[in-house]
Structure 1
């Protein structure tokens, strides 16, 4: 196992092999479950048990995403940014981490949240408009979902460095989109991570569009993974619809960062099959033929076909996974159909570690008024 691309830089004598990504995205499974590139065997393919776990979580994640989209149309959510088609990336990110590691998600990464063990209602609290974060970040070792592009990338770098100073072997993984790589925060985070050799991994889910802006209109580089070399960050690109390859590459990146090998930048080539959010119409900016091309590369169908061909996944297993996902969605529907129990006093929570006297007085006055005293 290891990262062994074959690139060198002529003329200056500097060996760039450890820094540059593979010339083609790493892919372990072709649509027919045959090795797509023998050179990719430098990454250890996950066990059948791990791939089965990934399959179940991807099926669950897609049903969750479909249900959340329907709830947004019904007005139960303010908005929902679908991750349809990106399940391999999000589940792969969650599975590559230990419980003691930290995940830094964006607003589109609810599937990663539930794969991390977060309650689905808590995962949707932000999108429902009830709170800035519905789960306990410390308990789940998962930062609040980030809406501004790339600002959390610097947070991930800082936390990773701080954990290393504390003597832990914690790794931070930041999920970002292709649009985030055009933001200054992203480049500042990579620069700092490279200088500090922080144990942080940046996973770019390149789904081809920053809302309606295609990748070609925001980046002239041969690939987003190549942005790492300018900051001394090891880089790789992977087929983001190949769950086995995503898990293999991310597991390598996380463990090498943990061992002191420095930060990694991984670009996952994937596609957002749904709209940017439930308020978007993607037909206005991308051709139907393009979406259909990527629909044929569906990450769940691809993994299911591979596991069936190997005899690892039976029809009964697939039916059980679908039934579990349906029960999960039904429970989510029932709980989000109930109106939330709101307490106005929570306005004062999590503002100060030690509330100043005037806020304590205001809280007491609010309580007295709500009790009719």
Structure 2
């Protein structure tokens, strides 16, 4: 049996609860109460005014982006969108605790982490409109972001695939002797995929410096967590695989920030994985293709609105004397105008020429890809009304 003595309390920061094998009770780290005040027994993490304001502004930015892009989808301007509303503290608070060299592997609702790293409004819009300025040449569906420059791995649609990939990437970081970890985001629904078990077990056995970050928002689309599993959330699974585990209030950005700082420190010092389960709630629909009124009540939603992560953190910053309310209102208005401006610009940019669809696979496109391209062109010419942005350029 491999020596697991490193599963003790080394690296314990503040009230981060590092769980060892055999424990049944899984406590939850909290720093801020829903009203924005500090819990009486909580230790505040070390955070600068600059960092705190950047986190708040990113949270506000993402909420405005979500609002505008859901409306854009309803107007038929984009085909699909996934909002982060209600989960901003989980994604942005964790990203703020990382270093730029750390790799982020996302599921699909982590646009806040990408924005915190510097992804611009123009880059968001180019991706969602799949135009020729998009970093991946418009070949991904909307919200499948990626940025090599920001160490943000391109999102793929199948649930859970990024989990074993994160283990492998973190193992590579370890073998290269890098001062870096890989963080992998996923929902509690994705933790029901086989890739979760394979990936977490791989990281545990090979001692990979990976942070597995589960956003437990209570629903796998329309399926509530109590119908997904009988165990105690996802944290208990980390314990079962011999992985150091932290459960945190996912609507408390300071708790998330503190937990992720601790996880990164432990992952690097001991070259081992850490699992974080952030207990949060998805206030928005699962996606623009979803209607949550069919599976949850308005009363339930309103109870969680009282725990709004943005308002909670803003209240704490204001109490610290770090918030200039006039400047903050100006920031919100400028951001709203910037989003609208870049949206209008991006939807006017053409998509890539259809010939490019067979590039970047082989040095020279082989005969069978050329044949498929010819068939595609024939199909588009036959049904031009179905491809208005493409057919006119064939």
Q: Same fold (TM over 0.5)?
A: yes
SS at match of 1:268: strand
Give 1:11's aligned residue: none
The residue matched to 2:230 in structure 1 has which SS?
Answer: coil
Residue 215 of structure 2 corresponds to which residue in structure 1? 205
Tell me whether 1:157 sits opposite 2:160 in the alignment.
Answer: no
Residues 81, 108 of structure 1: 8 Å contact kept: yes
Mapped partners of 2:60, 2:99: distance in 1: 22
Partner of 1:35: 38
CA shift for structure 1 position 233:
1.0
In the other structure, the counterpart of 2:56 is 55
Q: Structure 1 residues 119, 201: closer, same or farther in 2, change over 3 A?
A: same
TM-score by length of 2: 0.82
Structure 1 outlier segments of 4+, above 4 Å: 3-8, 18-22, 124-129, 133-136, 359-366
Are the equivalent residues in 1 in contact too, given 2:21–2:239 (CA < 8 A)? Answer: no
Counterpart CA distance in 2 for 1:20 and 1:125 is 48
Per-residue Cα deviation, 1:197-243 (whole angstroms, up to 9, x for no partner): 10110111111100000000012112211110111111111111111
Counterpart check, 1:175 vs 2:178: no
Q: Please report how far the alpha carbon of residue 94 of structure 1 lies from its aligned counterpart in structure 2 after TM superposition.
A: 2.2
Contact 1:28 1:45 in 2 (8 A): no
* Residue pair 1:7, 1:20 contacting (<8 A) in 2 also: no
Does 2:140 match 1:132?
Answer: yes
2:280 to 270, 291, 305: 270
1:302 alignment partner, one of 312, 315, 322: 312
- In the alignment, the residues of structure 2 paired with residue 174 and residue 187 of structure 1 have an alpha-carbon distance, to the nearest angstrom, of 14
What CA distance in whole angstroms lies between the structure 1 residues aligned with 2:80 and 2:273? 34
- Structure 1 distance, partners of 2:320, 2:189, is 37
Instruction: Tell me the residue number matched to 2:26.
Output: 23
Q: C-alpha deviations, 1:4-37, integer Å up to 9, x for none?
A: 88999xxxxxxx6389698332111113443326
Q: 1:7 to 1:272 in 2, by over 3 A?
A: closer
Q: Provide structure 1 residue ranges, at least 5 long, that are not aligned to the other structure.
A: 9-15
Shift of 1:333: 2.1
Cα distance in 2 between the residues matched to 1:160 and 1:365: 42
**Residues 70 and 81 in structure 2, CA contact (< 8 A), matched pair in contact too:** yes
Quote the residue 2:84 is aligned against: 83
Tell me, in whole angstroms, the C-alpha distance in 1 between the residues paired with 2:103 and 2:91: 14
Measure the CA separation in 2 of the matches of 1:244 and 1:335: 36
Alignment of 1:302-341 (within 5 A): 302-341=312-351
- Report the secondary structure of 1:103's partner residue: strand
Distance (whole Å) between structure 1 residues aligned to residue 325 and residue 147 of structure 2: 38
Q: Is the 8 A contact 1:125 1:131 kept in 2?
A: no
Structure-2 separation of matches of 1:97 and 1:81: 24
Partners in 2 of 1:176 and 1:252 — Cα distance?
Answer: 19
CA distance 1:25–1:317, change in 2 (3 Å): farther
| Secondary structure of residue in 1 paired with 2:215 | strand
- Given that 2:16 and 2:29 are in contact with CA atoms closer than 8 Å, whether structure 1 keeps it comes out as no
Aligned residues: 360
- Summarize deviations over 1:16-72 as a string: whole Å, max 9, x none: 63896983321111134433262x53x734333321111011011111111111111
Alignment match, 1:230: 240
- SS of 2:165's equivalent in the other structure is helix
User: Contact 2:174–2:271 (CA<8 Å) still a contact in 1?
Assistant: no
Distance in 2 (alpha carbons) for counterparts of 1:56 and 1:20: 38
Quick one: structure 1 residues 198 and 28, their matched pair in 2 at CA, closer, same or farther if it must change by over 3 Å? same
The answer to whether residue 102 in structure 2 is matched with residue 101 in structure 1 is yes
Aligned match of 1:243:
253
Contact 1:76-1:336 at 8 Å conserved across structures = no
Q: Given the superposition, is the C-alpha separation of residues 3 and 216 from structure 1 closer, same or farther in structure 2, using an over 3 Å criterion?
A: farther
Structure-1 separation of matches of 2:353 and 2:106: 27
**Structure 2 contact 13–258 (Cα < 8 Å) conserved:** no
What's the C-alpha RMSD, in Å, of the aligned pairs? Answer: 3.1
TM-score (norm 1): 0.87
